[in-house]
Amino acid sequence: MYSVIRYHDISCGHRVYGHESKCAHLHGHNYRIHFECTAKGLDALGRVIDFSCIKAMLCEWLETNWDHRMLIWDEDPCLPFLKKHDSAVVSVSFNPTAENIAWYLVEVVGPEQLDGTGVTLRSCTVQETAKCSAKYTKGDL
């Protein structure tokens, strides 16, 4: 199995509903998101996938959907108020921890964006700060 990794930076806000400390408040991060793409073989040029394709399919998805937005879990009681007053609020089906963001990118966004390419988004690392990151790796391929 071959793999390639490309990262992309976005600025995004969130709140972790139910968190026992500061992360329960609305706040944001300059996220660095690492995409690891795999394939069983290489293309005719000897690549898993061209890095510009990762940019077009995954990095641009981040730019369009999450950059400079506020991710709020659809079960968060603050969601209706926030959506009413700010069009940049994005309702997500998960509590937006770094772990859940990584899972969502691998299990939902990756398959949608890479469909038909023969490439799989194998793992994603979501770095919230220089010291703190979470990684999700797809199970059986």
d(C-alpha 115, C-alpha 75), whole Å: 30
Which amino acid, residue 129? T
**Residue 84 zone, left/alpha/beta (φ > 0; ψ -120 to 50; rest):** alpha
Token couple for 16: 């972790």
The rounded percent of the chain whose pLDDT value lies above 70 is 99
Of 75, 136, 74, whose CA–CA distance to 110 is shortest? Answer: 136
* Burial class of residue 5, CB neighbours in 10 A (0-12, 13-18, 19+): middle
- Tell me the pLDDT tens digit for each residue of 35-90: 999 999 999 999 999 999 999 999 999 999 999 999 999 999 999 999 999 999 99
d(C-alpha 20, C-alpha 41), whole Å: 46
Which residues sit opposite 36 in a β-bridge? 5, 123
pTM for the whole structure:
0.95
State residue 141's pLDDT score.
Answer: 56
